[in-house]
Chains A and B, each alone.
Chain A
Amino acid sequence: MDLELRVKLAVYAHFAETGRRPSAADVASRAGVEAGEVRESFASLRSKRVLVLEADGASIRMAPPFSGVPTQHEVTAGGVSYYANCAWDALGIPAALGRPAVVRSRCEESLEPLELAVSDQGPAATDWVFHCVVPAAKWWDDIVFT
Chain B
Amino acid sequence: MLFFRSEERVREWCARTRHPLRPIVRMDQLWALAREWYSTRLQPDSRRPKPDEMGAIFARLGLVGDFWDPQSDTFGGGPRVS
Contacts and interface: CB of A to CB of B under 8 A. Distances in A.
A100 interface: no
Contacts of B5: 107, 109-110, 112, 114, 128
Q: Which applies to chain A's interface (DSSP): helix, strand, loop or mixed?
A: mixed
Interface residues of B, number: 50
Contacts of B24: 129-131
Nearest to B36: A95
Nearest to A141: B80
Contacts of A64: 37-38, 41
Given A65-B41, A129-B4, A49 B48 contact: yes
B6 A137 contact: no
Interface in A70-104: 73, 86-98
Interface of B: 1-7, 9-10, 12-14, 16, 19-20, 22, 24-31, 33-35, 37-39, 41-42, 44, 48, 54, 58, 66-76, 80-82
Nearest 10 Cβ contacts at the A-B interface:
A86-B1, A91-B34, A92-B38, A109-B13, A107-B5, A122-B31, A109-B9, A130-B25, A96-B38, A108-B2
Interface of A: 1, 5, 9, 12-13, 16, 49-50, 64-65, 73, 86-98, 105-110, 112, 114, 116, 118, 122-123, 126-139, 141-142, 145-146
